[in-house]
Amino acid sequence: MSDYQRLNHEFSPVYNKESRILILGTFPSVKSREQNFYYGHPQNRFWKVLAHLTKEPLPTTINEKQQLLLSHRIAVWDVIQSCEIIGSSDSSIRDVIPADLKGLLTQTSISAIFGNGAKACQLFEKYTAPALLDFPKLQAIKKLPSTSPANASWSLERLCRNWQKQLQPYLQS
């Protein structure tokens, strides 16, 4: 008996031609799939961290979240377009079809890619990195500590400090 489901990523990346950095997740959680938008689990600290970094109010609607990202030239997407997965478990991901990051990069000014957690970086390196050799000015992926509630050893304050240190040079330029 298997609880695996074959799922496709059902919502678009958030970006525009001015986007300078790309933050990648793995694949949307059950809560994110229900909301049809990124980082939808109420315990995920992604939006709290970004609000802190950008000194903006915490966004609550999808429109507010999109505006926060775009106004600070941040793009968000996931490494995976389609996979088999059990619930929201990143460790269960198998039979991956990667997202078309190369296509997104040709439409933006992205100069650095960050993975929201080790699994996003691992999947990026395995499935996507070789396709990006055509972008010599692109910084290699950098690992950010995951904002997932599963990363309970990292407090919100510690996450904010680490993300600030890594993203600040890109947010100011």
Query: Is the distance from CB of 90 to CB of 26 less than 8 angstroms?
Result: yes
Instruction: Please give the pLDDT value at position 170.
Output: 87
Q: How far apart are the first and last CA of the chain?
A: 52
3-class SS at 8? strand
Instruction: Please give the pLDDT value at position 163.
Output: 97
Instruction: Please give the pLDDT value at position 132.
Output: 80
- pLDDT > 70: what percent of the chain? 98
Instruction: Please give the pLDDT value at position 140.
Output: 76
Instruction: Please give the pLDDT value at position 171.
Output: 82
Q: Could you give the residue ranges of the DSSP H alpha helices within 23-173?
A: 30-35, 46-54, 62-71, 101-105, 118-127, 156-172
pLDDT at 1 over 70: no
Tell me the β-bridge partners of 23: 76, 114
User: Tokens for 30?
Assistant: 């059950």
Instruction: Indicate the pTM of the whole model.
Output: 0.95
pLDDT for 72-120, tens place per residue? 999 999 999 999 999 999 999 999 999 999 999 999 999 999 999 999 9
Query: Is the distance from CB of 6 to CB of 84 less than 8 angstroms?
Result: yes
3-class SS at 97? strand
- Distance, CA of 84 to CA of 6 (rounded, Å): 4
Query: Is the distance from CB of 143 to CB of 162 less than 8 angstroms?
Result: no
What's the CATH fold of domain 5-172?
Uracil-DNA Glycosylase, subunit E (3.40.470)
User: Tokens for 125?
Assistant: 């390196």
Range 127-149 average pLDDT: 86
For residue 82, the one-letter residue type is S
Per the prediction, the chain carries an average pLDDT of 93
Instruction: Please give the pLDDT value at position 162.
Output: 97
Instruction: Please give the pLDDT value at position 141.
Output: 84
pLDDT-derived band at 173 (thresholds 50, 70, 90) equals: low
